[in-house]
Structure 1
Amino acid sequence: MSVRITLVAAARSSSLLTERFDDDRPLDQAGWHEVQLNAYRLVPLSYAELRYCSPTARSRATGEALGFAPLAQPALRDCDMGRWRGLTFAEVTAREPAAVDAWLADPRSAPHGGEPLLAFISRIGGWLDTRPVGDGDSIVAVAEPAVVRAALVYALKAPPSSYWNVDVRPLSTVALTGQAGRWSLCLETAA
């Protein structure tokens, strides 16, 4: 028995240059516009038996706008960035360059006082592995791009450093099929 989990990256709440760590801002105008433009290809996912979202405002709003009526999952929250929460990458790099270098180099480090990358990836993997499995069951989850990256690294059993090489754009989707500890990436052809 296996399950299909489709992850949808939440729509934007800011431009890429003004994204902030552990940000919980609602969708901005551009984000709402992106949802409207992409709804035709995402609304069919609302037929999934189970529909979830991360607890952030933009993930909930994205799921609601697509008609998913998702249940917020605390385990799908973004990485806890400690004292860096609310800051941009440029701001943190200017204030604490050595700490940023350590954080990027060692997935077990948490110089910000929050959650280490390795713990974040494991938490998201734990959520994946505890999903109900039934023959043909499908799940959709709207989450922050960081959550989608962590899920892919976990599912593919890739080294934690590969997290930095996964680019997840707003409203992009990826499907994983399998069961606890045995996940496959499912790429589909365009309809």
Structure 2
Amino acid sequence: MAPRVVTVEADGGSRGNPGPAGYGAVVRDSETGEVLAERSESLGTATNNVAEYQGLIAGLTAAAELGAAEVDVRMDSKLVVEQMCGRWQIKHPGLRPLAAQAAGLVGRFAAVRFTWIPRDQNRHADALANAAMDAAAGRPTATRAAAPAVGSDKATAPAVGSDKAIAPAVGSDPATAPASWEPRPTFTATRLILVRHGETEYTEQRRYSGRGDVPLSEKGRAQVRETATRVAALAPTVAAVLSSPLSRCTATAAAIAGALGDVPVRTEDDLIECDFGQWEGRTFAEVREGWPGEMDAWLASPRVAPPGGESFTHVAERAHRVVAGLLTAYPGETVVLVSHVSPIKLVLRDALTAGDGFLHRLFLDAAGISVLDMWPDGGVAVRTVNDTSHLAAL
């Protein structure tokens, strides 16, 4: 009889990163701890992260072959766990096909839960991975085992080049993200209503508007009134309204708070717009003409900042801190965040586990509304993106 619940322990490594690489995976009966299957293989030359994903894929494949209904995945790769839970973006294009293959396998089970564990709790899979790395380096060894690995209780050399946690995780740890198409009950989620501020003169003139405190225009004030009414209809009960400290946002937030019955507005520095440095206040055309190389580099990578400014990577870290704090402070409640284009785009990018190209393909209108739900186990549902139906009459 096939076990209903199994545990997959997986690991991978590379001696050189990239270098001789291999992975190991163990499938256990979750109730008895009995080893049901082992998988290990040499990968030739590959990176540490590629090997870790290959270990996960091999473990999930073995669990599916055994007919398991649910899987508890245990890995010492924080990167793989957080990316599979959808909390960290998959930035490297070489990992995206592997993550997609793993996600396809996840969909074959009723539930898959991911847990990060320390390396010393993953010795069995680590030993298999090291044996596979030996084979990749030209040392003779078995690459696929049918019985528990010999010497799994002895110290094994960690893979060289391991790059574990690179950013704080949203939600609880251990991280779990059950895979399911079944709608989650919305009352257990923390709902975020993301609102871009109303229009300013810079918006109309197509200028870079970052840290400069440009007020709402007359049209922007009209947009804000309609937006406040729309938010109140979407969420009559709101736990908090958070705003960037810039006046175009605080004015928008004040109108929303008034429509909700004078909910207090709290300014949050981490919601401020990206610092565009020397480009601040200049038109898009002026920047393209005056800084063509710098602009190309900026568009090509979120890690590049405008001259004297701030990178989108740093903005994402700020926005991440806000979201992580809200999940802890307002579990199961609704919170309104009034911010700017860059922070909102970055929150949506990560919620959708999208690539960096998303930042330049998504358009957010002034006074547009986006809604997403976030659960403590890492589940995310993006419900609305850039809703502007309330502005149709303007």
Aligned to 2:355: 159
Name which of 239, 254, 274 aligns with 1:64.
Answer: 254
The answer to whether residue 331 in structure 2 is matched with residue 143 in structure 1 is no
Change (3 A) 1:135 1:75: closer
Q: Is the 8 A contact 1:21 1:88 kept in 2?
A: no
3-state secondary structure, aligned to 1:47? coil
Amino acid at match of 1:130: G
Amino acid at match of 1:4: R
The C-alpha deviation readout for 1:108-129, integer Å capped at 9, x for no partner, is 1124232112222232122212
Change (3 A) 1:2 1:99: same
- Of residues 170-179 and 130-139 in structure 1, the stretch that sits farther from structure 2 once superposed is 130-139
Partners of 1:86 and 1:100 in 2: how far apart? 15
Report deviation, 1:46. 6.3
Aligned to 1:17: 205
Amino acid at match of 2:255: A
Report deviation, 1:132. 3.7
Partners of 2:224 and 2:306 in 1: how far apart? 35
Report deviation, 1:135. 4.9
Partners of 1:187 and 1:170 in 2: how far apart? 15
Partners of 1:111 and 1:141 in 2: how far apart? 25
Report deviation, 1:182. 4.0
Name which of 300, 309, 333 aligns with 1:114.
Answer: 309
Change (3 A) 1:35 1:8: same
Aligned to 1:48: 238
Report deviation, 1:168. 0.7
The answer to whether residue 382 in structure 2 is matched with residue 185 in structure 1 is yes
Q: Is the 8 A contact 1:153 1:162 kept in 2?
A: yes
The answer to whether residue 288 in structure 2 is matched with residue 99 in structure 1 is no
Partners of 2:219 and 2:297 in 1: how far apart? 34
Aligned to 2:134: none
Q: Is the 8 A contact 1:63 1:69 kept in 2?
A: no
3-state secondary structure, aligned to 2:372? strand
Unmatched segments (≥5 aa) in structure 1? none
Partners of 1:186 and 1:51 in 2: how far apart? 19
Partners of 2:354 and 2:225 in 1: how far apart? 34
Say which structure is richer in helix: 1
Q: Is the 8 A contact 1:121 1:153 kept in 2?
A: no
3-state secondary structure, aligned to 1:79? coil
Unmatched segments (≥5 aa) in structure 2? 1-187, 390-394
Amino acid at match of 2:314: A
Give the TM-score normalised by the residue count of structure 1: 0.87
The answer to whether residue 358 in structure 2 is matched with residue 171 in structure 1 is no
Share of identical aligned residues, percent? Answer: 27
Rg: which structure is higher? Answer: 2
Q: Is the 8 A contact 2:194 2:339 kept in 1?
A: yes
The C-alpha deviation readout for 1:20-59, integer Å capped at 9, x for no partner, is 2304201111111222344432334463111111111101
Aligned to 1:8: 195
Partners of 2:317 and 2:355 in 1: how far apart? 12
Q: Is the 8 A contact 1:81 1:113 kept in 2?
A: yes
Partners of 2:287 and 2:337 in 1: how far apart? 30
Report deviation, 1:166. 0.9
Q: Is the 8 A contact 1:12 1:30 kept in 2?
A: yes
Q: Is the 8 A contact 2:369 2:384 kept in 1?
A: no
- Of residues 140-149 and 83-92 in structure 1, the stretch that sits farther from structure 2 once superposed is 83-92
Q: Could you say which structure has the greater relative contact order, defined with CA pairs below 8 angstroms and 6 or more residues apart?
A: 1
Cα RMSD between the aligned structures? 2.4
Partners of 2:215 and 2:264 in 1: how far apart? 17
After TM superposition, where is structure 1 displaced by more than 6 Å over at least 4 residues in a row? none
Partners of 1:150 and 1:185 in 2: how far apart? 13
- How many residues end up aligned between the 2 structures? 190
Aligned to 1:85: 280
Partners of 1:145 and 1:160 in 2: how far apart? 15
Name which of 224, 229, 238 aligns with 1:35.
Answer: 224
